[in-house]
Amino acid sequence: MNLLGNIIWLIFGGFFTFVGYMFGGLMLCLTIIGIPFGLQLFKIGILTLMPFGTQVREIQGASGCIAAVLNIIWIFCGGIWIALGHLFFGLLLTITIIGIPFARQHFKLLTLTFTPFGKELYSA
């Protein structure tokens, strides 16, 4: 079922979203200051490529207050708008029964795009 969901996701915009996140990550990695943020965009891009069957979890005690500071910078430099975009599409997809599984993936992306530092992806 995850394979079918991922194929439908890719056909209806997931691939273009993946390319956008990868391009943004490459642009941020051109500067030394942007490298940590570019790496987070790569992580988000991987999740947008195949969101079905992938989960997001907190890394326990891995980075401490550095992750909190980077998350605050992330939110103020555009992370809030990315998260609001996923919230909008998630709410829009909940209108139909067929769209509910895809809305759940947008809500999963919302949790990662709002505060990506200190989180990791794993296969469920």
pLDDT in tens, 85-118: 999 999 999 999 999 999 999 999 999 999 999 8
The model's pTM is 0.88
CA distances from 115 to 23, 111, 112 (A): 20, 7, 6
Q: Note the maximum CA span of the chain.
A: 45
Domain ranges, ordered by start, for the chain = 2-123
Torsion angles phi and psi, residue 45, rounded to 5: -60, -40
Residue 72: φ, ψ to 5°: -65, -45
- Categorize the per-residue pLDDT at 65 as very low, low, confident or very high, splitting at 50, 70 and 90: confident
Instruction: List, for residues 42-51, the tens digit of each pLDDT value.
Output: 999 999 999 9
Residues 6+ apart with CB under 8 A from 29: 35, 38, 39
Residue 56's contacts (CB-CB under 8 Å, 6 or more residues apart) are: 47, 108, 111, 112, 119, 120, 121
